[in-house]
């Protein structure tokens, strides 16, 4: 699982600047995910072959006893508790402040590794800049400039060095699926119905699940792993500190799994938060099954309206299978497994290069890419570039001129030709380096 790095420090030391640098650098996997309050962002980045989560916390004012700054301090402490390591940021141009000393005193007492970073050091002699901060007792200070990028890559290489690179989702040899959704839609009840026993707490109170719970089981002699996740509310509804950070665990569970089961509540309208969760699943490329829960007792007219509402608001999930279930009564739960198995198989599919190339040729014969002035892109052959989700790499010339509409056409064509149900598929273009290839046609 990806390690989580928390960025902490008093206000205005450059935490958000460093966060943006970490999540938007050229060799990062960019995904800037707004957090659950205006003060916090979650994102994920990559240094070399090591991915990680990063949490940008609000300004840490530990001496404040009430008000918003006090609440932000409490949230920061929770972020520190949940993180695998902490980057403590101080300001090179201001020097050590009383707040820095209080924060350092707390961080010296935690078990996680702490990296002391002296930001805004551009144009300054690093050894002199760092010397003052040895007083904080957190080891060797590292001088960086988040705004200019100086020393940032070296910092993250040091931070991530103790962590191994394991892509659990790709390495899994059996379906590992996460049950996600807003609080109180019946996720834990569904997990209990799947397992046939009371393995996780389920009662009518939003936010019961505080962490992601991994449970291994067998069904029809086939192994599975199910993950019961904490509910993710929209930011205005989140009040408890511990619940605010459950989103990190849910994000980790989604990326850690092969398949996601998104649970919706048939008795509530599809919300913006439902669409946001679905969008994050799509962004990560995970296979998806949608379970519309609490279907029991609804009359025909209401059921028709629910289906129309879902179809309109979640139309970008056309690749996913929808099930209308009652987790409480166990109705329709067994049918989920056919879709989970199908989605897992599609996500992990192996596509031979000759068949992919032939599918590409058929797609081009049916509809050629449009010209861009005097140039028409030429698509020559395709091969598979990855799984979970399946990635098809198309080689050719002038591929930079291919419009998004044709990109989507190819994606839909490959999905249809190879009968891939339940998983998104991604097409990447790679330009040929042959100088003798024609650039037009």
Residue 323 covered by a domain: yes
**Is 275 found in the same domain as 254?**
yes
- Give 431's pLDDT tier (boundaries 50, 70, 90): confident
Residue 144 covered by a domain: yes
Instruction: Please enumerate, by residue number, every residue annotated as part of a binding site.
Output: 9-16, 56-60, 119-122, 181-188, 228-232
pLDDT digits (tens, 9 = 90+) for 222-231: 989 888 886 5
Residue 314 CB partners (closer than 8 Å, separation 6+): 270, 274, 275, 278, 290
**Is 265 found in the same domain as 221?**
yes
**Is 95 found in the same domain as 75?**
yes
- Give 246's pLDDT tier (boundaries 50, 70, 90): low
Entry pTM: 0.66
Q: Compute the C-alpha angle 33/259/56, nearest 5°.
A: 20
CATH number for the domain spanning 256: value is 3.40.50.300
| Cα–Cα distance for residue pair 284/314, rounded to 1 Å | 17
Q: Is 77 a residue whose pLDDT tops 90?
A: no
| Mean pLDDT of the chain, nearest integer | 82
Domain that holds residue 368: 353-431
**What are 363-370's contacts with CB under 8 Å, separation 24+?**
363/409, 363/410, 363/413, 363/414, 367/406, 367/409, 369/401, 369/402, 369/403, 369/406, 370/403, 370/406
| Cα–Cα distance for residue pair 31/165, rounded to 1 Å | 19
CATH number for the domain spanning 367: value is 3.30.300.20
**Is 183 found in the same domain as 288?**
yes
Residue 339 covered by a domain: yes
Q: How many domains in the chain?
A: 3
**Is 414 found in the same domain as 342?**
no
- Of 195 and 134, the structure prediction assigns the larger pLDDT to 134
| Cα–Cα distance for residue pair 7/182, rounded to 1 Å | 27
- Give 280's pLDDT tier (boundaries 50, 70, 90): confident
Q: Which of 160, 179, 202 is the last residue of a domain?
A: 160
Q: Is 128 a residue whose pLDDT tops 90?
A: no
Q: Is 384 a residue whose pLDDT tops 70?
A: yes
**Is 188 found in the same domain as 153?**
no
Residue 436 covered by a domain: no
Q: Which of 322, 347, 372 is the last residue of a domain?
A: 347
Q: Provide the phi-psi class of 399: left if phi over 0, else alpha when psi is between -120 and 50, else beta.
A: alpha
Residue 341: the pLDDT is 95
**Is 213 found in the same domain as 108?**
no
Instruction: Please enumerate, by residue number, every residue annotated as part of a binding site for GTP.
Output: 9-16, 56-60, 119-122, 181-188, 228-232
**Is 339 found in the same domain as 269?**
yes
């Amino acid at each position: 699982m990806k390690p989580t790095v928390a960025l902490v420090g008093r206000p205005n030391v450059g935490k958000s600047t460093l966060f943006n640098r970490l999540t938007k650098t050229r060799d990062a996997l960019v995904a800037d995910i707004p957090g659950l309050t205006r003060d916090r962002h979650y994102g994920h980045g990559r240094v070399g072959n090591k991915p990680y989560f990063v949490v940008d916390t609000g300004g840490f004012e530990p001496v404040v006893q009430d008000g918003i700054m006090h609440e932000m301090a409490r949230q920061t402490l929770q972020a520190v508790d949940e993180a695998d390591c902490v980057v403590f940021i101080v300001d090179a141009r201001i020097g050590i402040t009383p707040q820095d000393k209080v924060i350092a005193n707390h961080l010296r007492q935690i078990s996680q590794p702490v990296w002391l970073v002296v930001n805004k050091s551009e144009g300054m002699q690093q050894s002199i800049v760092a010397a003052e901060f040895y007083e904080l007792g957190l080891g060797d200070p590292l001088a960086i400039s988040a705004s200019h990028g100086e020393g940032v890559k070296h910092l993250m290489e040091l931070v991530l060095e103790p962590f191994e690179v394991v892509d659990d989702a790709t390495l899994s040899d059996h379906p590992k699926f996460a049950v996600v959704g807003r609080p109180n839609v019946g996720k834990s009840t569904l997990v209990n119905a799947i397992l046939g026993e009371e393995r996780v707490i389920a009662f009518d109170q939003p936010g019961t699940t505080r962490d992601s719970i991994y449970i291994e089981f067998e069904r029809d002699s086939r192994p599975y792993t199910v993950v019961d996740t904490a509910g993710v509310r929209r930011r205005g509804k989140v009040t408890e500190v511990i619940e605010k950070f459950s989103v990190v665990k849910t994000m980790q569970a989604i990326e850690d799994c092969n398949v996601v089961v998104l649970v919706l509540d048939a008795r509530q309208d599809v919300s913006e938060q439902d669409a946001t969760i679905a969008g994050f699943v799509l962004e990560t490329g995970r296979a998806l099954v949608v379970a519309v829960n609490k279907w029991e007792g609804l009359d025909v007219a209401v059921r028709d309206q629910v289906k129309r509402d879902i179809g309109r608001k979640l139309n970008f999930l056309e690749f996913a299978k929808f099930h209308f279930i009652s987790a409480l009564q166990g109705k329709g739960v067994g049918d989920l497994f056919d879709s989970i198995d199908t989605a897992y198989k599609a996500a992990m599919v192996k596509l031979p290069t000759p068949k992919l190339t032939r599918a590409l040729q058929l797609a081009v014969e049916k509809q050629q890419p449009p010209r861009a002035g005097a140039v028409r892109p030429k698509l020559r052959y395709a091969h598979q570039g990855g799984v979970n989700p399946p990635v098809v790499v198309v080689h050719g010339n002038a591929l930079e001129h291919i419009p998004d509409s044709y990109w989507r056409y190819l994606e839909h064509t490959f999905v249809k030709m190879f009968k891939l149900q339940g998983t998104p598929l991604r097409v990447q273009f790679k330009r040929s380096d042959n100088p003798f290839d024609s650039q037009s046609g």
